[in-house]
Amino acid sequence: MRNLDTRISAAFGICLAATLALGTAVPAAAAERNGPPGQQDHPTIIGHRGSGGLSPESTVAGFAQARDFGADLFEVDVQLSSDGEIFLFHDATGARTTNVAEVFPERAGDPITSFTAAELRTLDAGSYFGGAFAGEPIPTLRDAALVTNPRTGINIELKSPENSPGVEAKLAEALGEKRYWQRLIARDQIVVSSFDEASLRAFHDLMPQIPVVLIGAVPDDAALAALAEWTEGLVTNYRTMDPADVARVQAAGLTLDVYTVNSVDAMQEMTALGVDTIITDFPGVLAAVQQGRNPLPDANGIEISTVMADPPGNDVQPENGEYVLLTNAGNTPVDVSGYVLQDAVINRLTVGSGYLLNPGGELRVYTGPGTNTAERYYNNRTTAVLNNTGDSLAVFTPGGTFVDLYAY
């Protein structure tokens, strides 16, 4: 179970935004979205839900950040409001990433698709990430289109289409009627995806000129051959993928895309395997890897060396529950008081005050309760945060400087 308490101070968000603004390097050359399967110099970069590790997911601020950090595409999830308007949102409810509990207290746990478009526009989808993003609205498809440019296109995912009946036709209608979509289609800068094969097929039948990719486990060769009849490729979870499947998918004439790759090591590993596209919450990190720049220019020696997500017994048992091991791999002492460890859905563990890590020093940061010592700090939570099937953690200073990224 994950704890979804994602509050953050306004100061953190403001400093984070300021830090990130310094890192906006945009490659000059326009990139083709995908070459033939397995034959690109570098995997295509897709910013997951925009730039979900460093800005609020599924917001224009996040889409713009992905673009400015060098993503080839940014990914959005489409759903339908109760009055039939497309909006961009990932979760099934607004509870995690919006202030729905304040604005509509009686409806906080209701399906996000039960709200009208006008109601959705009243929600704040930025504050959950940080005060600097307060007031970011839930975007429309047009909002996202306006962020694209000749360098950065869009990946539109039909999200949980069973909750949005008719979304395939609505999407096809929207994409068919505006010149900016025609430009994206002409430049091969748009791809539509879904976990739901029937929904993806329905969209494809309506708009065969737009490439589609199916998200899911890699199937057998016969199923790959059938997919190659109408899809461009397959999108799969890199943690569960068999490395041999990359060549097998590509031999079927399909591209192989992987999600959600949130560490430099995993990015390099996936690149070495020859995947066609890497989907990441940190598109700027991947762009730096591809361009030979330092992917973590503000690293200060503080690193995550181990994550113990699933210890024997209860994950939040007193003293011996789940923890993250922080190490000072640098040459100078670092005060890690107030450091923030942030997972992919923006749960945040913190380090208390008074913790100085000498070179080679280690600190275990626990989710649950226990007695603090020089080597152990407890967050005193009652529910687990660390995902037992794997996740990623970004490390920030109290001022929001991004110093490490780790996947497990």
Interacting residues toward Mg ion by CB under 5 A: 77, 157
Order of strands across the sheet that contains 362-366: 302-308, 323-328, 362-366, 376-378
Contacting residues toward ligand G3P, per CB under 6 A: 48, 75, 77, 90, 157, 159, 193, 215, 235, 259-260, 279
Catalytically annotated residue among 33, 49, 67, 90: 90
Mark whether 48 is an active-site residue.
yes
Residue 199 near residue 171, CB atoms below 8 Å? no
**Residue length of the chain:** 408
CB 351 within 8 A of CB 326: yes
Residue by residue, DSSP assigns 291-311 as HTS-S-TT--SEEEEEEE-S-
SS3 state of residue 283: helix
Q: Answer yes or no: 204 catalytic.
A: no
CB of 88 to Mg ion, least distance (A): 10
Alpha-carbon gap, residue 165 to 31, rounded angstroms: 35
Backbone angles phi, psi at 173, to 5 degrees: -65, -45
339 contacts which partner out of Mg ion, ligand G3P, none, CB within 5 to 8 A by kind? none
Q: Which does 279 bind (CB under 5 to 8 A by kind): ligand G3P, Mg ion, none?
A: ligand G3P
33 binds, among ligand G3P, Mg ion, none (CB under 5 to 8 A by kind): none
Q: What token pair was written down for 348?
A: 């945040």
Residue nearest to ligand G3P (CB): 259
**Between 280 and 328, CB nearer to ligand G3P:** 280
> Residue number with the shortest CB distance to Mg ion?
157
Output the DSSP codes for 142-171: HHHHTT--SS-EEEEEE-SGGGSTTHHHHH
- The β-bridge partners of 302 are 328
Residue 137 CA to residue 148 CA, distance in Å, equals: 18
The single residue of 33, 48, 159, 348 carrying the catalytic annotation is 48
Q: State the number of CA atoms in the 13 A half-sphere of 48 facing the CB.
A: 21
The 8 Å CB, 24+ separation contacts for 308-315 are 308/386, 309/386, 309/387, 309/388, 309/390, 309/391, 309/408, 310/386, 310/388, 314/368, 315/367, 315/368, 315/384, 315/386, 315/388
For 318, residues 6+ apart whose C-beta sits below 8 A from its C-beta are: 368, 369, 370
Alpha helices in 155-228 (DSSP H): 167-177, 179-186, 197-206, 221-228
Task: Count other C-beta atoms under 10 Å from residue 166's C-beta.
Answer: 12
The letter for the amino acid at 223 is A
Strand partners, 154: 74, 190
Q: Give catalytic residues, as residue numbers.
A: 48, 90
